[in-house]
Amino acid sequence: MPADFFIDTKLGIVFSKAVGTCGRPEIIDHMDRLQRHPDFRPELNQLFDFRGVTRVTFTAGDVRALATRNIFSGHSRRALVVESDSHYGLARMFEAHREMEGERGITIFRDMPSALSWLSLAAEPDPGLFHQLATAAPAGD
């Protein structure tokens, strides 16, 4: 499972993280599992950490299709953290498509401290909360 999450109800945020190969199937699976989670509410904020993604398999059509499906409220703040230029470009494309749908709460960041500040969070989540990711990504991803 290269994209996983946990929900902090006290902080009102979904912490999501992707590692290894990430594409449309992984993000759809992530969204489906998140939407079914008993603690999920559309008005939660989200911090999605893509820094561990080593390969993306998105096409421009995939990004457009993912942007048409939204499980968060238009009032949610969603920070996407990426490192590479290509990942930044895909994230910006997603952000632009969501803006065309009327959503203004997505911002792309190149570093975690800026994303944390924008979401008014004191610290990054404990990496141990994503322990399944470390064992789920195949070697070489």
Q: 71-116 pLDDT, tens per residue?
A: 999 889 999 999 999 999 999 999 999 999 888 899 999 999 999 9
- Above 90 in pLDDT, residue 20? yes
Residue of 1 and 70 predicted with greater confidence: 70
pLDDT of residue 141: 41
Q: Which domains does the chain have, with CATH numbers?
A: 3-136 (3.30.750.24)
pTM: 0.88
pLDDT of residue 132: 52
Alpha-helical (H) ranges within the chain are 24-36, 60-68, 85-100, 112-118, 131-136
CA distance 3 to 5: 7
pLDDT of residue 31: 95
